[in-house]
């Protein structure tokens, strides 16, 4: 304990004055009486006022000295050096992502973060205000800036864990926008285990709505990071996929990748299920920090819910499972309009579900009766509405792109690796003699981009669905690449899918999913992994569903039509539950510490209150004696 007003100690000299007054007596006139028997009280008073006699015990004197001592002590402004929040405005950002479900601290990390948040709230000083944000894949404002501690505690109690990654950038931008005009002491406190990538280009200070939309932000606010967690003991599934095996007819491949984040070797089993039934079990061993993968060749099913599960005792359960969903293929009638292209024909016939009919350009009679029509180096006058088309070196006027001549020897610059048409393909070594100079339509998207022109374009409008390959396959190295049959089969699947028929419908938890609507449906019902249902009115096509914060299968019903998709965590950041001792925010390394800074907690209010109580007690004792 220390004092701020040291000169006030001189006021302690008033205490001896009180004692001195008790040594003095009143001036009285002396009278002689025959006896003092009837004057006992008077005699006692005389003895009490006799000068410089031995000081007697007196409760009044003790209370008066104690009151004066407390008063002097209060004037010196004593204080304690405590750990306490010093900010006038504080925003708590509580991480509620998947890694916060780790059980290395009982009962889990999120509960520990909530406990720390409640302790911070209890230590707030008078006049401080605080806001609570919940940060997962998206940020929720649990409460804005308030001085009501009951509201703050209720907001902290409402925070729940999600099976998603952490979007801390969004959380910090929103947190700083909640702060008033920056003042010294304003703080943003992050309660997390640090399982998120570095936050780049973070604006600071208060952000208005206009600034936020325009990207013009600035200001100052201190950021603190409070680490939650103790251990890194975890093995997780970090990747999973299921796809058609293009080298074998009617076969499926399932790939599962796992990583050991523990500090020791882990032995466990990898189990593969289909629609809840066990299909295969494999033993797996991963060393410290090792990555391992298992490929299930010749998986004997073409459809259904596939679940990969690792049987291991670790401290994070949500990444021990991953899902894929395969839709059964139906027979597809394909019309190939070409003067002859054996490479393209063989790639189509590699799929047992594809029935190919080859038609010469001069014999083409229309799209009717076929699920897909392929125009190979032949441009029709018009594409029929309601059809699906694969265009090779052909750009009709109403297609996904217009042609503005040709370009010689374009080079591949980049391609979409996640789109259903181009995923699993490697087009780095693709070369061609020439290509059409393409200008994509407003409803089309470039999948493979060249240095001088787009090379592969796809699009879906109200009247058609089309994929356009801008170069002649026979005048390129594409047939020699392993990507060629994959690209053809992907194109056929995407072009001929019905509503809900997408092979391996898989998204990351937290992502929005476009749901196609069958004709006549007015409501979509989505059954989530926890068996609760969400009803979505059909107001647009497709309907966007974004409540995918739980990992697992989602079943969609619209009338009699049913479909399914799955949401997976599959996040290396979240599976790596090792607590981070520092995080990177806007290029600045912020070390883990306490959310509380050193602060002076003055005691004069408490001492003054006690002094008033003592003064009241002294008054009561005095009047009772009278």
Q: At 183, phi and psi to the nearest 5?
A: -130, 160
Beta bridge partners of 304: 326
The pLDDT of residue 378 is 95
The pLDDT of residue 212 is 37
Contact 253, 294 (CB under 8 A): no
C-alpha pair distances (Å), 362 with each of 146, 270, 400, 574:
76, 56, 23, 58
CA angle 133, 138, 142 (to 5 degrees): 25
**Structure tokens that stand for 99 in this block:** 């890694």
**Structure tokens that stand for 16 in this block:** 């001896």
**Before 524, cis peptide (omega within 30)?**
no
CA angle 171, 547, 566 (to 5 degrees): 115
Question: Can you state the angle between helices 149-157 and 109-122, rounded to 10 degrees?
Answer: 180
Distance of alpha carbon 192 from alpha carbon 170, whole angstroms = 15
Residues (pLDDT < 50) of the chain are: 26-27, 204-219, 499-500
Question: Max Cα separation, the chain?
Answer: 155
The pLDDT of residue 610 is 84
Of the candidates 182, 176, 87, the residue with the CA atom closest to the CA atom of residue 125 = 87
Contact 366, 383 (CB under 8 A): no
**Structure tokens that stand for 532 in this block:** 């609760």
Which residues, other chains included, contact 141 with Cβ-Cβ below 8 Å and sequence gap of 6+? 131, 132, 133, 174, 178
- For residue 118, with 0-12 CB atoms within 10 Å meaning exposed, 13-18 middle and 19 or more buried, which class applies? middle
Buried b (16+ CB within 10 A) or exposed e, 384-400: eeebbbbbbbbbbebbb
Would you give the distance in Å from CA 133 to the centre of its chain? 11
Of the candidates 108, 248, 121, the residue with the CA atom closest to the CA atom of residue 596 = 121
Q: Please state whether beta strands 354-359 and 332-337 pair in parallel, antiparallel, or not at all (unpaired).
A: parallel
Buried b (16+ CB within 10 A) or exposed e, 517-544: beeebeebebbbbeeeeeebebeeeebe
Q: pLDDT per residue over 125-141, tens digit each?
A: 777 899 999 999 999 99
Helix (H, G, I), strand (E, B) or coil at 168: helix
229: left (phi over 0), alpha (psi -120 to 50) or beta: left
Element (DSSP H or E) covering residue 274: strand 266-274
Q: At which residue do the structure tokens 């090379």 appear?
A: 455
**Before 542, cis peptide (omega within 30)?**
yes
Distance of alpha carbon 299 from alpha carbon 111, whole angstroms = 41
Distance of alpha carbon 119 from alpha carbon 189, whole angstroms = 13
Sheet with 89-95, side-by-side order of all strands:
139-146, 129-135, 89-95, 187-192, 222-227
Q: At which residue do the structure tokens 């066990």 appear?
A: 278
DSSP states along 403-430 = EEEEEES--EEEE-SSSTTTTT---TT-
Would you give the distance in Å from CA 148 to the centre of its chain? 27
- For residue 431, with 0-12 CB atoms within 10 Å meaning exposed, 13-18 middle and 19 or more buried, which class applies? middle
Distance of alpha carbon 521 from alpha carbon 331, whole angstroms = 26
Distance of alpha carbon 141 from alpha carbon 161, whole angstroms = 15
Element (DSSP H or E) covering residue 337: strand 332-337
Distance of alpha carbon 183 from alpha carbon 425, whole angstroms = 54
Q: pLDDT per residue over 242-257, tens digit each?
A: 877 655 555 688 999 9
The pLDDT of residue 208 is 44
**Structure tokens that stand for 303 in this block:** 């459809």
C-alpha pair distances (Å), 524 with each of 268, 477, 498:
40, 45, 17
Q: pLDDT per residue over 504-519, tens digit each?
A: 678 999 999 888 888 7
Question: Can you state the angle between helices 483-496 and 342-349, rounded to 10 degrees?
Answer: 60
Q: At which residue do the structure tokens 């109580």 appear?
A: 613
Task: Identify the DSSP state of 346.
Answer: H
Contact 325, 562 (CB under 8 A): no
pTM listed for this prediction? 0.69
Helix (H, G, I), strand (E, B) or coil at 622: helix
């Amino acid at each position: 304990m220390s004092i701020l007003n040291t000169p006030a100690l001189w006021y302690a000299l008033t205490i001896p004055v009180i004692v001195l007054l008790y040594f003095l007596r009143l001036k009285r006139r002396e009278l002689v009486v025959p006896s003092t028997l009837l004057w006992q009280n008077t005699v006692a008073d005389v003895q009490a006022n006799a000068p410089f006699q031995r000081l007697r015990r007196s409760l009044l004197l003790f209370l008066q000295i104690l009151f004066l001592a407390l008063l002097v002590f209060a004037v010196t402004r004593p204080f304690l050096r405590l750990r306490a929040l010093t900010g006038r405005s504080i925003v708590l950002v509580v991480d509620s992502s998947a890694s916060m479900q780790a059980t290395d601290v009982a009962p889990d990390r999120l509960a520990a973060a909530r406990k720390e948040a409640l302790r911070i709230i209890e230590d707030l000083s008078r006049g401080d205000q605080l806001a609570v944000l919940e940060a997962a894949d998206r940020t929720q404002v649990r409460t804005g800036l308030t001085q009501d501690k009951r509201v703050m505690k209720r907001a902290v109690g409402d925070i729940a864990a999600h099976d998603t990654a952490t979007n801390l950038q969004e959380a910090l931008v929103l947190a700083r926008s909640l702060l008033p005009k920056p003042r010294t002491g304003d703080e943003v406190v992050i309660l997390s285990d640090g399982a998120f990538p570095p936050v780049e280009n973070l604006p600071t200070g208060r952000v208005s709505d206009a600034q936020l939309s325009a990207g013009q932000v600035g200001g100052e606010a201190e950021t603190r990071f409070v680490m939650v967690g103790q251990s890194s003991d975890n093995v997780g599934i970090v990747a999973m996929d299921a796809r058609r095996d293009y080298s074998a007819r009617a076969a499926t491949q399932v790939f599962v990748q796992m990583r050991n984040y523990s500090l020791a070797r882990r032995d466990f089993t990898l189990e593969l299920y289909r629609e809840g039934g066990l299909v295969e079990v494999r033993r797996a061993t991963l060393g410290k920090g090792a990555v391992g993968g298992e490929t299930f060749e010749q998986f004997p099913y073409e459809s259904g819910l596939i679940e990969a599960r690792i049987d291991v005792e670790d401290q994070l359960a949500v990444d021990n499972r991953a899902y894929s969903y395969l839709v059964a293929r139906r027979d597809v009638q394909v019309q190939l309009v070409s003067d002859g292209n054996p490479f393209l024909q063989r790639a189509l016939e590699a799929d047992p579900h594809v029935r190919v009919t080859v038609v010469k350009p001069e014999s083409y009679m229309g799209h009717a009766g076929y699920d897909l029509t392929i125009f190979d180096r032949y441009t029709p006058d018009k594409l029929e509405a309601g059809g699906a088309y694969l265009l090779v070196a052909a750009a009709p006027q109403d297609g996904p792109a217009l042609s503005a001549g040709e370009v010689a020897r374009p080079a591949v610059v980049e391609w979409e690796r996640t789109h259903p048409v181009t995923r699993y393909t490697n087009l780095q070594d693709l070369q061609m003699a020439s290509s059409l100079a393409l200008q994509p339509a407003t409803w089309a998207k470039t999948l493979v981009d060249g240095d001088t022109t787009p090379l592969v374009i796809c699009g879906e409008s109200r009247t058609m669905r089309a994929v356009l390959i801008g170069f002649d396959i026979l005048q390129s190295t594409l047939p020699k690449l392993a990507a060629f049959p994959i690209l053809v089969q992907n194109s056929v699947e995407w072009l001929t899918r019905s509503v809900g028929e997408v092979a391996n419908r898989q998204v990351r938890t937290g992502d929005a999913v476009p749901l196609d609507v069958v004709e006549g449906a007015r409501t979509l019902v989505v059954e989530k992994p926890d068996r609760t249902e969400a009803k979505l009115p059909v107001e647009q096509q497709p309907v966007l569903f974004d409540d995918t914060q739980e990992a697992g299968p989602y079943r969609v019903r619209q009338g009699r039509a049913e479909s399914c998709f799955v949401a997976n965590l599959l996040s290396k950041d979240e599976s790596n539950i090792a607590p981070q001792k520092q995080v990177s925010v806007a290029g600045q390394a912020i070390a883990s510490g306490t959310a509380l800074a050193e602060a002076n907690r003055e005691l004069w209010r408490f001492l003054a209150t006690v002094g008033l109580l003592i003064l009241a007690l002294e008054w009561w004792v005095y009047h009772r004696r009278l």
